[in-house]
A and B are shown apart, each in its own frame.
Chain A
Amino acid sequence: MKSHVWRPLYVVLIVIGAVLVLRKIMVPSDFGIGARGYMYGWHRDGNEKDWKKVTVKYQGAEYCKECHKDKWDEIKQSPHANISCENCHGPALGHPDDPRSLPIDRKRELCARCHFRLEYPTSGRGHIRGIDPRTHNPGLECVTCHWPHDPRKEGHHK
């Protein structure tokens, strides 16, 4: 190794050493091969817990049952039984602590999601009765005439 031709190799080894040191500092200690092996499981293990910690916004259908039993019973025996409360009232979040009350979305576009009439006989959509919002009382809120918790009933005409 006396020959000067090996000098660049020393420089290379120093650079490689520097990269390895940098790796030791930069890479989190829980980074490695996971349950799915190297190809599909190469990751920082702590990230799985990070994702589990995300705040839940929608509390689900059963959440409202206890406190709002009257409305719950009403809607559950109506054609709208399977619609989740949070579809029209937004996510429950920390209700009743925060927010104290949930909004009521009365926009025509909300109801038109299902009730804009599309003549598609080969789809469930074709079996939903609907209207054309451009001709059916344009500008008027649907709930004026229709009661959303039981669409067989009349609206509150407000």
Chain B
Amino acid sequence: MSDELTAEEFIEAPPPETPQPSQHFAARFGWATGILPSLLTVLLAFLVSGIAILAIGKNPIKVYRAIFDGTGLNWFFHFGSYSIRIPFATTHVWFWWDTSSTAAQNLQQTLITTTPIILTALAVAFPFRSGLFNIGGQGQYFVGSYFAVWVGSSIAGLNGPVHIAFAIVAGALAGAAWAGIAGILKATVGAHEVISTIMLNWIAIYVGSYLLGQGGPLQNTTQPAIPVSNNIVDNAKLPIFWGPPLLQGLSVAIFIALGMLIVYSIIINRSTLGYEVRAVGFNPEAARYGGISVARNYFLAMAIAGAFAGLAGALDVLGWRYNLGQLDVTSNVVQIGFIGLAAALLGRNTALGVGAASLLFGALLTGTSGRQLDPSIFRPDLAGNLTTIIQGLVVLFVGLNLTALPVWWRKRRARGAAT
């Protein structure tokens, strides 16, 4: 009698324990498993897109070199003896690098692009930990930027920092509310967050097209023929600390983004909320049994994600965009939300990983832009599409655990031999 299995045990009976090479590997090189697959992913993505460059008769190495030079990351390799002014002060001190070279200006552009990518990547990473896939970073980014443009341009005579804070908070809250719709739908009626965030993306785009279009409420008051918003007032612009203020220098937005990386890390790893969010992500049923409100955490995860993405939109407007055109919204030029998605996946949803992956994509976007890339080496519009291909390959390969593939292959062969 006691030898008989119950029906459940019969179905769920675990396979006999066998030593797994992958476990052995993870125990010894656990620290590397986080980085190694990502590095392999990037390597593979660049290799495959190198074939695309070869296919049209260009030299991939030369092209990649030109893109790299355009990113300004080569700035770090040119040492010398220079003097710089400490930001927001008058004192000059000695410095290792030349802060006013062309490479330095390229680097500023890279960091400007990296800023929103970090935040939209966090907007994907945070709900990911609770088991939700926020594909709506793009829409949340746009909604945040609409509110930042509105607050930044419509109130005059406000104290600088107050105005900036007001615009940033408005953008972040708007993003949170936008993503919160998807969160509430998931929490209350169980609507799939992927469907609802895709819908919210497009609604945000068309609403923006209406708001900024001719005769729209946000369109500028001076030139009715041009579908662009008013410029935000000077008081609402973020302080520029590196580069010429008139030629799109680097604003303090990058520090806010870096700060948010730390905030994200603390919330996820050190707070009750982060614990609950992760618990829901591991197993919603178990979390519910443990007294955690799954619905509340779904909503909070989405709202906080939306706040990150909305913040990205607000910082872009206050940091360098200064206004928003209908074409910015409708022409699909701005793909920050989707690049953030790739960066979050590549960074494996950890703060450090997200930061590094965002820098990679920020650099790629900058290096392939029309302003940075030499057209005689490679057409910038071709290179822009190359970035999209690399982005696609990264997302494609990141889902595969590349370091586990050999193990999988060996097991498969062994199984084939056994039968």
Say if A and B assemble together.
Answer: no
* Chain A residues close to B by CB (< 8 Å): none
